[in-house]
Amino acid sequence: MQQRARRRPTERGPFRVEHLRSGDPYELSNGHPIYCAPTGGRASGPNSLGSSVVGWDPAVKEVGVDTGYSLGPDTLRAPDVAVGNVPDRPGWVNGVPELAIEYADVGQDEAKLQQKIAELLAAGTRFLWVVRLNGPRRVEVHEPRKRVRVVLPGQMLSAPGVLKNALRVEALYDRSEAEKATLTNLLQRHGYEDLDAVLAKGREEGRDEGRDEGRDEGILEGKRDALRRVMGGRGLRLTKAATAKIASCRSERELDRWLDRALVAKTVAEVFKRAGR
């Protein structure tokens, strides 16, 4: 969220956490409201990519977007993406996430951002990543009592004890990199290290069944299996028609297209839609 500039509050303000309701465009700092403007187009896409990448990490059980955290009776903060401590119940969440991600673009009030970072870290957040979308792309890594580190595209981000897998900086804003990272995470949740492991299993099964075309059929079966597992992992329940469609497909290119869509689709129909529709 982009925050509108205003003077830093020096005295305790009159507002309390219970005065805000879900959907109100405000955070609170020391009793003072901080208006959070709607997110621009360039930042809104990466927000969803980042939540998908970290949310499907095998070690993660809870992830939230704009989750409101009550740091005290007069302070409420809502990171763009939060990992850990995102309970499935209504109301503000007491405490903080283990990992918080903020996306900063044009119009970001730096003073307010630094204030938010300081409050979250002081309250117990272990890692806070600021993804800079304006200017050279980079991620600033904040940790309690440590100097800020800048991680550049091509380099890896890690959050030991929170995420199992390290991820490339680009995975937090580039769709292609985000899809690769999300696919690996989903496959690991189902017992495969990565897509190569799925394909290897398919080739092995093809050979074991004595098919002359064992290698090609194995690759196809591996991709079919990956597609089924990704859809299942994302809660896209396979219909009989969809199951039959996958089983009968003999085109690697078609399976790859379906797999790409399955990473972001909201319905089963979106996975199998034809181009131009």
- Is residue 268 within 8 A of residue 238, CB to CB? The reply is yes
pTM value is 0.69
pLDDT-derived band of residue 117, with 50, 70 and 90 as boundaries?
A: very high
pLDDT-derived band of residue 10, with 50, 70 and 90 as boundaries?
A: low
- Is residue 189 within 8 A of residue 207, CB to CB? The reply is no
User: What is the per-residue pLDDT across 18-62, written as a single tens digit (0 to 9) for each?
Assistant: 666 677 666 667 667 666 765 655 555 677 899 999 999 999 999
- Is residue 257 within 8 A of residue 270, CB to CB? The reply is no
Using the predicted structure, report yes or no on whether residue 186 has a pLDDT greater than 90: no
User: What is the per-residue pLDDT across 198-251, written as a single tens digit (0 to 9) for each?
Assistant: 666 666 665 555 555 566 777 888 889 889 988 888 889 999 999 999 999 999
Share of the chain above pLDDT 70, in %: 77
Kindly list the structural domains of the chain, giving each domain's residue range(s) and its CATH number in brackets, ordered by start. 2-174 (3.90.1570.10), 190-272 (no CATH)
CA distances from 209 to 103, 196, 245, 252 (A): 50, 20, 22, 20
Using the predicted structure, report yes or no on whether residue 132 has a pLDDT greater than 80: yes
